[in-house]
Every structure is written in C-alpha cells, then in structure tokens.
C-alpha cells in the first residue's frame, strides 16, 4: 500500500467512519428518489430501515446537508418541472408528485423557483426548445 492510499484510508475512515450509517442514509435517499410521489414522513422512513427517526434525521443532515423532508421537497419540485415541461397540467403535476392541494403546491413552487407554475410554463414556451436550468430559475 502506498503512502497516498494509506492517507486516503485515514481520511475515508474519519469522514465516513461508519459504513452502516452511510448505507442507511443512502438507502433512505434512494427510497425517497423512487417513492417521492407517496406520502412519506420521518416516522415511515425510520421504520423502513429500522432506525430511530431522530437518529435518521441527524444522519441525513450530516451526510446530505438537509433533512429528509427538505430533500423530498426538492425532489418533488425537480420532478414537477419535468412534468410541467412535458405538458402535464398544474393540477395533474401536483397530484403526480405527491401534493394533495394545488394551491399549496403553487405557493411552494413560486417560493422555491421564483415563478408560479403558470409563469414557469409561459417562460418555458417563450424559450422554445431550450430547457430552463437552475440559474434561470433563481437558484
């Protein structure tokens, strides 16, 4: 083993000290990515991988810099943009990504992107075949 490999193992051991913790948060993230449209909450996610919800919250925040709820919201908004670009209506998009109320969806969408879903669609249409990226949406 070279000097650099041993140093890399030391750093990896410090940053990712517990492989089980890492697997837990990766598993939760993957679960959110595939089930974002379902009603997910911290209790349900913690039961999915048999871990305390408070421990899960701390781990997820440690490794991803945000809570599972924040990550879920970001994922849903990312998918909402995709659905809106493909021509799905605002109401259909709202329900497809797991929101129960189009008004709360529209409010959150505007708060996070700077555009209401309607404005987003108009901007998308005015740009023609070009896609909106995160910079044009105020990220």
34-58 pLDDT, tens digit per residue, is: 999 998 999 998 888 788 899 999 9
In a domain, 33, yes or no: yes
Please state the rounded mean pLDDT for residues 82-90: 91
Whether residues 53 and 87 fall in one domain: no
Q: Domain containing 88 — which CATH number? A: 1.10.10
Domain end position, chosen among 38, 65, 92:
65
Does some domain include residue 133? no
Q: Assign 94 a pLDDT band (cuts: 50, 70, 90).
A: very high
**Is a pLDDT exceeding 60 seen at residue 29?**
yes
Higher pLDDT, 5 or 116: 116
The region of weakest confidence among 10-14, 66-70, 79-83, 131-135 is 131-135
pLDDT of residue 33: 94
The pLDDT value recorded for residue 75 is: 96
Does an H or E element contain 76, and which? helix 68-85
> How far apart, in whole angstroms, are the C-alpha atoms of residue 125 and residue 120?
9
pLDDT, position 14: 67
What whole-number distance in Å separates Cα of residue 9 and Cα of residue 40?
36
> Rounded mean pLDDT of 17-37?
87
Q: Are residues 56 and 9 in the same domain?
A: yes
Same domain, 12 and 48: yes
Integer Cα distance of 66 and 69 in angstroms: 8
Q: Does any domain span residue 88?
A: yes
Residues 93, 116, single domain; the answer is yes
Categorize the per-residue pLDDT at 129 as very low, low, confident or very high, splitting at 50, 70 and 90. low
Q: Give the number of other CB atoms < 10 A from CB of residue 84.
A: 20
Instruction: Give the burial string for 21-39 (b: 16+ CB within 10 Å, else e).
Output: beebbeebbebbeebbeee
For residue 122, give its domain range: 73-126
């Amino acid at each position: 083993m070279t000097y650099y490999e041993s140093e890399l193992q030391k750093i990896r051991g410090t940053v990712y000290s517990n492989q089980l913790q890492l697997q837990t948060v990766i598993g939760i993230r993957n679960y959110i990515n595939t089930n974002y449209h379902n009603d997910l909450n911290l209790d349900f996610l913690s039961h999915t991988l048999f871990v305390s919800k408070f421990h899960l919250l701390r781990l997820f925040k440690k490794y991803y810099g945000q809570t599972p709820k924040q990550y879920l919201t970001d994922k849903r908004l990312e998918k909402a943009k995709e659905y809106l670009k493909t021509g799905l209506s605002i109401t259909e998009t709202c329900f497809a990504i797991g929101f129960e109320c189009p008004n709360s969806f529209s409010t959150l969408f505007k708060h996070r992107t700077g555009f209401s879903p309607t404005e987003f669609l108009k901007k998308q249409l005015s740009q023609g075949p070009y896609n909106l990226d995160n910079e044009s949406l105020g990220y």
